[in-house]
């Protein structure tokens, strides 16, 4: 495909008969031979291997780690100083109006911070970091691939190659050796399953992918399954469920803002949009991201408007939706007026001009299986 970037695993995807699609400027596999449904179910039952090399890896360092941590706190409402060495934490870049510029992972590697950001927002994130992190070096990592191994068999499959991963707990991050190759491993992912994300030099990525796929437990999985897995896990897709027009409180991501950054905390505020976000943390926001379960069998996808039963004034909108293979039913998430965000609230969504009954539901739709 013209003008699209390729990941270090491109040739392997093609040899595995992947159906390649354009995604965030990259040519990536949406599915392989067995299809999205099977890839999804196999990941939950065993393990799936995802190529997530399109995501941005960025190293942030300063004269001292603490200096880098404090500098980053000026851009995120996260207690970066509170991330212990060898751990990572979910974070958000916020804008001056309180919206979300991107979501990311922040790992404390002892000497530096490693950030993983979304592909579509990578360039703007790097520019944002470079312009605003006084005294820090911001180094985009361009010579490493990123693989995600997800599902209950992940530990056994990866530990057969890299024994040290078995000792890691959810959200641990570690530098480990694989036959002389330095791996940056975290026990994390985007599926609600136990699993790992592994950063590896691009030249070795194929060997590692092939070694993992040689395990009977592991199959290659594409973007299609990645999306249905994260939807069942209630995880946000940047650009769909969260963006510059949604605040962390509206998005029900309060848990990503630690006490230290809230009113009365040791380092309260001091991030873009703090006045609005801190206020909303205490008083709430007018709308809220919730799970939306269609009562019928038809999937209700992004863009469907939500109404009170029998009313013509929209009270919200679906931002992600589809079929949840592990639940055997359609699942959606979206925003509704906060007064209607209680679990069990009966509402309607409009699909192809018809009203469908839906019920507000807790997320995740399926409990996570993280190894804590």
Q: Using CB under 8 A, list all residues that contact other proteins.
A: 30-31, 35-38, 40, 224, 228, 297-299, 301, 322-323, 325, 330, 352
Nearer residue to other proteins within complex by CB, 40 or 122: 40
Task: Tell me the pairing of strands 329-337 and 181-186.
Answer: unpaired
Per-residue tokens: 57: 């890896």
- In 10 A of CB 95, how many CB atoms? 17
Nearer residue to other proteins within complex by CB, 42 or 204: 42
* CA 209/CA 74 separation, integer angstroms: 37
Q: Nearest distance from residue 245's CB to other proteins, in Å?
A: 24
User: By C-alpha distance, which of 239, 260, 289 is closest to 76?
Assistant: 260
Nearer residue to other proteins within complex by CB, 19 or 206: 19
* CA 367/CA 45 separation, integer angstroms: 14
* CA 208/CA 329 separation, integer angstroms: 35
Strand, coil or helix: 159: helix
The whole-angstrom distance between residue 213's C-alpha and the CA centroid of its chain comes to: 23
* CA 235/CA 206 separation, integer angstroms: 28
Q: Nearest distance from residue 165's CB to other proteins, in Å?
A: 30
Nearer residue to other proteins within complex by CB, 28 or 257: 28
Nearer residue to other proteins within complex by CB, 352 or 372: 352
- In 10 A of CB 17, how many CB atoms? 12
Structure-token match 């070795």, residue found: 204
CA distances from 361 to 246, 260, 271, 366 (A): 20, 30, 31, 11
Nearer residue to other proteins within complex by CB, 115 or 229: 229
Contact 88/107 with Cβ under 8 angstroms? yes
Nearer residue to other proteins within complex by CB, 328 or 344: 328
Q: Nearest distance from residue 344's CB to other proteins, in Å?
A: 24
H/E element holding 135?
Answer: none
């Amino acid at each position: 495909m013209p003008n699209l970037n390729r990941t270090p695993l491109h040739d392997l995807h093609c040899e595995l008969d992947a159906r390649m699609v354009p995604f965030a400027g990259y040519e990536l596999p949406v599915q392989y031979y067995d299809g999205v449904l099977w890839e999804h179910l196999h990941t939950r039952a065993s393990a799936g291997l995802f190529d997530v090399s399109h995501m941005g890896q960025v190293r942030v360092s300063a004269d001292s780690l603490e200096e880098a941590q404090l500098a980053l706190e000026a851009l995120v409402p996260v207690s970066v100083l509170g991330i212990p060495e060898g751990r990572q934490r979910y974070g958000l870049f916020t804008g001056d109006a309180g919206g979300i510029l991107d979501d990311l992972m922040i790992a404390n590697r002892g000497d530096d911070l490693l950030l993983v950001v979304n592909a579509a927002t990578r360039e703007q994130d790097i520019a944002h970091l470079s312009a605003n992190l006084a005294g820090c070096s911001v180094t985009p990592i361009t010579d490493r691939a990123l693989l995600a191994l997800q599902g209950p068999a992940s530990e056994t499959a990866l530990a057969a190659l890299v024994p040290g991963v078995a000792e890691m707990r959810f959200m641990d991050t570690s530098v480990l050796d694989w036959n002389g190759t330095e791996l940056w491993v975290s026990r994390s992912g985007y599926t609600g399953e136990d699993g790992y994300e592994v950063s590896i030099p691009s030249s070795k990525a194929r060997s590692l992918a092939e070694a993992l796929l040689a395990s009977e437990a592991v199959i290659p999985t594409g973007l299609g399954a990645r999306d249905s897995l994260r939807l069942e896990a209630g995880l946000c897709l940047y650009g769909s469920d969260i963006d510059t027009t949604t605040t962390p409180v509206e998005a029900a991501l309060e848990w990503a803002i630690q006490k230290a950054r809230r009113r009365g905390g040791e380092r309260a505020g001091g991030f873009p949009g703090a006045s609005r976000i801190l206020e909303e943390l205490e008083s709430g926001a007018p709308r809220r991201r919730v799970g939306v379960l269609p009562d019928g069998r038809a999937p209700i996808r992004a863009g469907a408007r939500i109404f009170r039963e029998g009313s013509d004034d929209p009270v919200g909108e679906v931002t992600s939706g589809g079929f949840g293979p592990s639940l055997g039913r359609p699942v959606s998430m979206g925003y509704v007026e906060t007064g209607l965000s209680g679990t069990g609230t009966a509402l309607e969504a409009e699909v192809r001009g018809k009203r469908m009954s839906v019920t507000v539901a807790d997320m995740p739709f399926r409990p996570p299986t993280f190894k804590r």
